[in-house]
């Protein structure tokens, strides 16, 4: 019987001759002089893997098809094979596998974990450290849970793949990853270091430490992305210096449908810290971040630390705290923005207690710290968090700290609070409900803010768009300013006139999807 067609438990490999009693992986899938329990390595008849010894043999068949048929535990299973050997099998006894896992150099086959786990794997390689070093263009690894993995390396580190040119799908990872060497750069990704194709359906719960240099990247799922990362969640504790993201370190590709919860610590005056992505120069959409960021030095944001000139962020939501933000640019969505940020929101808390000598060029914004260059746009977004600071700054704003070089701020509002600082006594700061400081042709239009929530606002920064909380519930003012409410939920914004402040249409659509998912329904037409 082809085990693929057997509808019984996933550990069932075959059946006994009388076809009555199931034979399980624990009883039948053992190392007896064969490289795998059963199978021929074809798509129709995959090699079946259920021991550490089988897993070690995968490297010798890099183009074959594999199916894992039971959990594999490096602590419990590593002696099982030798215990099951008979006298006739002694010549086939596998090598000692109690040492650290030796990464598979290249894999271009298909490995299906069938929702089984690989437990207690340890990897400590002098080169790149991961389960697989290179997953080639036809390679596929899916449906595997790596539990309590420990990976240590000196260059690039990941739990599953260093360089992905294939597909990584439905992978779960728990454990710890560390790049130790401070003398070089390194990419540390929870699942993949470098992604050039597709990573999807990922769930991680990891502590990641990267001591690498200024061109290093650290991400809860992927360190460096040129492909696509989608439909994934990360819950991480990150210690690193540069290009650090709750889900991705640096991306020039596509990020979508990501939920990133992280605690991020800047361990050495670094830059580009983001709740979703450290530095972005690609497309980011439908993402959520809940981040606690500890003492970020430069360019930190609830979604991205730095959104570069080709970067576009849309339908993003951030919450959490940027605690004691220091030195330069910090924002509820983006620290430094030279790209496009649209249809997004933040309820994040930002505070700074840094001494003035470190922060004379600091800019803090409820949405963007510094909006700079003529490619920069912040449109159709809002802030409902808080800014609390006791340091001098170039600009503190409810939407943007500093806006410059023809950058644009249009159709946004702030109902967030700004406390601390002073326009007349040290530490001196430019404080405004929309922006703190605007120069070199920055364009600002059709924005609103609650001026009662902005302390110590500079007289010359009592800006057009100043409103009370009740004013912000008046839809007519927004319509006159050209905000898109559309018809029956077809616009960018929606609100109940006289009762609520504006919200983004995608927020209510997301709530409906969540309700349908939790109830098992499918909405209209069910």
Rounded CA-CA distance 378/397 in Å is 13
47-93 pLDDT per residue, tens: 999 999 999 999 999 999 999 999 999 998 755 544 444 444 443 44
Domain with residues 103-294, CATH architecture: 3 Solenoid (2.160)
477-506 pLDDT per residue, tens: 999 999 999 987 789 999 999 999 999 999
Cβ 304 vs Cβ 331: under 8 Å: no
Give residue 326's pLDDT band: very low, low, confident or very high (50, 70, 90).
Answer: confident
Averaged pLDDT score across all residues of the chain? 87
If you ran DSSP here, which 8-state letter would residue 288 be given? E
Beta bridge partners of 47: 66
pTM for this model (two decimals): 0.90
Quickly count helices (H) and strands (E) in the chain. 5, 49
Name the strand (E) or helix (H) holding 84.
Answer: helix 80-84
Cβ 184 vs Cβ 216: under 8 Å: no
> How many CA atoms lie less than 13 Å away from 369 in the CB half-sphere?
37
Q: What pLDDT does residue 84 have?
A: 47
Q: What pLDDT does residue 516 have?
A: 64
Rounded CA-CA distance 496/236 in Å is 38
Give residue 311's Cα distance to chain centre.
Answer: 16
Cα–Cα nearest to 301, from 266, 267, 332, 264: 332
**DSSP labels, 39-64:** --SSSSS-EEE-SHHHHHHGGG-TTS
pLDDT greater than 90 at residue 22: no
Cβ 171 vs Cβ 191: under 8 Å: yes
Q: What pLDDT does residue 9 have?
A: 33
Cα–Cα nearest to 205, from 162, 275, 145: 145
pLDDT greater than 70 at residue 10: no
Q: What pLDDT does residue 7 have?
A: 34
If you ran DSSP here, which 8-state letter would residue 4 be given? G
432-461 pLDDT per residue, tens: 899 999 999 999 999 999 988 877 776 445
378-434 pLDDT per residue, tens: 999 999 999 998 777 889 999 999 999 999 999 999 999 998 865 555 555 688 899
CB neighbours of 104 closer than 8 A, spacing ≥ 6? Answer: 58, 59, 62, 131, 132, 133
Per-domain boundaries in the chain: 1-99, 103-294, 301-469, 471-519
Q: Give φ, ψ of 339 to 5 degrees.
A: -115, -140
Q: What pLDDT does residue 428 have?
A: 57
Q: What pLDDT does residue 370 have?
A: 97
The alpha carbon dihedral of 256, 258, 263, 267 has a sign of negative
Q: What is the mean pLDDT of residues 103-111?
A: 98
Q: Write out the two tokens for 388.
A: 């609390």
Size of the chain in residues: 526
**DSSP labels, 114-166:** EEEEEES-EEEESS-BSSEEEE-TT-EEEEEEEEEEEEEESS-EESSEEEESS
């Amino acid at each position: 019987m082809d085990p693929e067609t057997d509808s019984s438990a996933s550990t069932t490999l075959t059946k006994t001759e009388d076809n009555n009693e199931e034979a399980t992986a624990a009883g039948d899938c053992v190392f007896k002089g064969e490289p795998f329990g059963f199978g021929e390595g074809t798509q129709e008849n995959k090699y079946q893997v259920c021991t550490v010894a089988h897993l070690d043999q995968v490297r010798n068949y890099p183009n074959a098809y594999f199916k894992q048929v039971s959990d594999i535990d490096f602590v419990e299973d590593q002696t099982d094979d030798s215990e099951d050997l008979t006298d006739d099998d002694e010549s086939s006894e596998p090598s000692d596998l109690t040492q650290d896992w030796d990464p598979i150099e290249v894999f271009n086959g298909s490995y299906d974990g069938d929702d089984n786990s690989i437990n207690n794997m340890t990897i400590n390689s002098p080169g790149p450290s991961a389960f697989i070093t290179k997953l080639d263009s036809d390679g596929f690894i899916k449906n595997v849970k790596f539990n309590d993995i420990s990976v240590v390396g000196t260059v690039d580190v990941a739990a599953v793949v260093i360089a992905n040119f294939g597909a990584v799908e439905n992978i779960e990872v728990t454990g710890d990853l560390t790049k130790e060497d401070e003398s070089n750069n390194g990419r540390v990704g929870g699942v993949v270091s470098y992604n050039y194709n597709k990573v999807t359906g990922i769930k991680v719960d990891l502590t990641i430490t990267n001591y690498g240099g200024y061109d290093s990247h650290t991400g809860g799922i992927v360190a460096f992305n040129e492909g696509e990362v989608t439909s994934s969640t990360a819950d991480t504790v990150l210690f690193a210096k540069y290009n650090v993201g709750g889900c991705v370190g640096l991306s020039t590709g596509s990020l979508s449908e990501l939920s990133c919860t992280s605690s991020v610590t800047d361990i050495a005056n670094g830059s580009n810290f983001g709740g979703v992505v450290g530095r972005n120069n690609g497309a980011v959409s439908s993402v959520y971040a809940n981040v606690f960021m500890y003492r970020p030095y430069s360019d930190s944001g609830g979604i991205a630390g730095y959104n570069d000139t080709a970067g576009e962020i849309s339908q993003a939501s951030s919450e959490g705290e940027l605690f004691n933000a220091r030195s330069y640019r910090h924002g509820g969505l983006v620290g430094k923005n030279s790209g496009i940020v649209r249809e997004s929101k933040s309820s994040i808390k930002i505070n700074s207690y840094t001494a003035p000598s470190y922060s004379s060029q600091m800019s803090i914004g409820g949405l963007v710290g510094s909006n700079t260059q003529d490619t920069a746009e912040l449109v159709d977004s809002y802030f409902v968090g808080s800014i609390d600071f006791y340091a001098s700054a170039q600009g503190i704003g409810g939407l943007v700290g500093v806006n410059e070089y023809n950058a644009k701020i249009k159709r946004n509002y702030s109902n967030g609070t700004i406390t601390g600082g002073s326009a007349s006594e040290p530490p001196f700061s430019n404080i405004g409900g929309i922006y703190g400081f605007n120069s070199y042709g920055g364009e600002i239009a059709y924005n609103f803010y609650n001026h009662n929530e902005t302390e110590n606002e500079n007289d010359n920064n009592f800006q057009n768009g100043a409103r009370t909380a009740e004013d912000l519930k008046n839809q007519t003012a927004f319509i006159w300013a050209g905000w898109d409410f559309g018809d029956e939920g077809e616009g960018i914004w929606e609100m109940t006139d006289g009762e609520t402040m504006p919200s983004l249409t995608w927020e209510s659509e997301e709530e409906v999807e969540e309700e349908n998912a939790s109830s098992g329904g499918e909405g209209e037409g069910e």
